[in-house]
Structure 1
């Protein structure tokens, strides 16, 4: 799992390509990557693809939730 969280302290760890990034939950933003069709945690210039369970854990730790739901009926949707 590329994400570890501590909801009590709001400390989060993101792991991607051997890089370990530690931050407070509110410093992390969760977005939807339309091309990947999944959620991505962003911190500084780093992007870490994550599962929805990991995204939920990050939001409990205070991460900013900027995810969008992708719908097949939306004009211009890629799915």
Structure 2
């Protein structure tokens, strides 16, 4: 997956998706199944790095991430 941000416009490119969106229409979320940040674009969930999530929010995306905590006793968190 490729993500490029230029002048508050986000360009998402995958094998099956090529989208250009204003940053203020994007929401960064937490995928609790994978504990990763993600965005939903054109009905597809795209996982992104924390650096990409930060860059998106700086560009104007909504920060909708939740911070997850491990509940297992042997967790390193």
Q: Which runs of 5+ in 1 are unaligned?
A: 74-78
Give the gaps of 5 or more residues in structure 2. Answer: 72-76
**RMSD, matched Cα:** 1.7
Alignment TM-score, normalising by the size of structure 2: 0.81
C-alpha displacement of 1:60: 1.1
Aligned residues: 72
Whole-angstrom CA distance in 2 between matches of 1:26 and 1:2? 19
Q: CA deviation at 1:57?
A: 0.7
Q: Residue 45 of structure 1: CA displacement?
A: 1.4
TM-score, normalization by structure 1:
0.79
